[in-house]
Amino acid sequence: MEQIHTPKRRHLAPTLLAAALLTLGSAGAQAKDVTDADILNDATNTSQVVTHGLGTKGQRFSPLTKINTATVKDLVPAWSFSFGGEKQRGQQSQPLVHDGKMFVTASYSRIFALDVKTGAKLWKYEHRLPDGIMPCCDVINRGAAIYGNLVIFGTLDAQLVALNKDTGKVVWRERIEDYKAGYSLTAAPQIVKGMLITGNSGGEFGIVGRVDARDPMTGKLIWTRPVVEGHMGYKYDKDGKAIENGITGTTNATWPGDLWKTGGAATWLSAYYDPDVNLIFMGTGNPAPWNSHLRPGDNLYSTSTVAIDPDTGKIAWHFQNTPHDGWDYDGVNEFVSFEYKDPKSGKLVKAGGKADRNGFFFVNDRTNGKLINAFPFVSRIDWASGFDLKTGRPIPKEESRPGSPFAEGGGDGQKGSTVFVAPSFLGGKNQMPMAYSPKSGLFYVPANEWGMDIWNEPVSYKRGAAYLGAGFTIKPLNDDYIGALRAVDPVSGTIKWEVKNNAPLWGGVLATGGDLVFYGTPEGHLKAIDANSGKELWQFQTGSGVIAPPITWEDNGEQFIAVVSGWGGAVPLWGGDVAKRVNFLEQGGSVWVFKLHRS
């Protein structure tokens, strides 16, 4: 049995420890710390949401049933809170709920604490951002972590900030890297075995992706693991001294020359953790530069799932979803743990599912990374015809790789040959997290159908400058829809049902024991779908596009649903012809909470 650790309170200043009194509810009530037990039980403790993913495995499933296929028609707003000001832009945060408070981050590195019953603002923190930040894909933030008496989130200038969750006062602040080199931090941190686990953003600037473990009470590093082959990992002693912890992979085994030194592979989404196998799962982003002709080889460990031993900080296994990526098919999407019975042997399989940007849905044995299945979840995939399940390698279509800009590759020295390829680099699925229901055995995947013209250009690395070497224009594949919520059977590899949407889907999904699937649309709707049939049962207009994942919890026997609303993100910035199709959508910034109407 895994030992349950209590937060290391000795690291907090005595004056902060004395401030642990709630300002809401009954006067003088003792504030509740968040423990490792709270984190590990988040998937089943329905009175809280203290992880990004509604559980360490990231299934985004709640067993709550009061809001169900029969009652959802009576769902009405309980309250709404505006983030205010002119700092609207894209809102992708998943709120956390604990001890009578909601903690929700917002664009431009802000965080709010709200009374979960009324929506009243308890405190807010606005991070002072310097000039010259370089976020790739809007000024978004995807959420916070909560542990002990702290709430911790990342900022666009590549810092981690820990605040007293009851007062909003800063307890510690740590810089993860130099924002002037292109680093930023947008993902929600996670707590694993009493450690704060984070990645980084900035793959388009030639940064080096890595996974860090820190003491959540102080911010000090415990270990760090780069995910570009050739870089050294480190662990840290009690005095903060760095001790070498093994090179990632083998230098120059899959990278030419010195390109591994600026290899990208940003870890820009949240990690997940499976205590059953004691592994952290993290997706890695695109290799840098995008121009694949400059970097022959597989370019490990980019566009991969890496499984890291939390006790050592070493990679236990990896699976590369797109070797030698030439389309920005970022492999950073979430790897979600689930179990199923093998149809042939009847044995229970400890698996993980991943709906990748490259258009394939992958099922891997999560104990060792072995590929079990790979099948399309979108209608058109041009870069590969499938995967060889024996070797775990794709069956590539090299004619779909954009050409080299150099003469021997068919280019004129300025631009290589253009190809049209689907999916587009924004992916069959992007940052929006899917959900898995152990009740139905299905994944609910927010998918998009689009392609792109893409070509390569010469490029060289310059610190703090975009490092692409490619140009592109994204185009819809269909006149009547781009987005589609799809119910995917990971065992049979079939799509059970789909719900089409005119605009791209860019928000996450929630599944519940009430046989419901909740998701949002850029057109502003939060929708409830029958998990078994795909029939729409309820919708509500939030006033701006929903590009964030919903959550649910219960309080005094009453079930609540919440979602953040605010259009923005990568689509209007990078979307080409698709962006023109959704340019009528309005920005916003608010969180909505719903409950059943009492007659």
Catalytic residues: 328
Give the angle 100-102-104 at the CA atoms, nearest 5°: 170
Q: How many CB atoms lie within 10 A of CB 272?
A: 27
In three-state form (DSSP H/G/I as H, E/B as E, the rest C), the secondary structure along 241-300 is CEEEEEECCCCCCCCCCCHHHHCECCCCCCCEEECCCCEEEEEECCECCCCHHHCCCCCC
Report how far apart, in Å, the C-alpha atoms of 514 and of each of 252, 498, 517, 561 are.
Answer: 52, 19, 9, 13
Q: How many CB atoms lie within 10 A of CB 30?
A: 9
Q: Give the whole-angstrom CA distance, residue 180 versus residue 205.
A: 10
- What order of strands is seen across the sheet that includes strand 170-175? 145-147, 150-154, 159-164, 170-175
Determine the 3-state secondary structure of 574 from DSSP: helix
Q: Give the whole-angstrom CA distance, residue 165 versus residue 168.
A: 6
Q: Identify each DSSP E strand in 423-580 by its residue range.
A: 435-437, 442-448, 450-456, 470-476, 483-489, 494-501, 509-512, 516-520, 525-530, 536-541, 551-555, 558-565
Residue 384 main-chain phi, psi, to 5 deg = -150, 150
Q: Are 389 and 374 in contact (CB under 8 A)?
A: yes
In the structure encoding, which two tokens stand for residue 216, read together? 């959540």
| Residue among 122, 124, 50 at smallest CA distance from 83 | 124
Burial 300-334 (b: 16+ CB within 10 A, else e): bbbbbbbbbbbeebebbbbbbbbbbbbbbbbbbbb
Residue 170, strand partner residues: 163
- How much of the chain is in helix, strand and coil states, percent to nearest 5? 5, 40, 55
Q: Give the whole-angstrom CA distance, residue 241 versus residue 235.
A: 8
Backbone conformation region of residue 31, classed left if phi is above 0, alpha if psi is from -120 to 50, else beta: beta
Amino acid, res. 367 = T
Residue with tokens 């991943």: 354
Q: Give the whole-angstrom CA distance, residue 188 versus residue 105.
A: 9
Sign, CA torsion 355/356/361/364: negative
Q: How many helices (H) and strands (E) does the chain have?
A: 4, 40
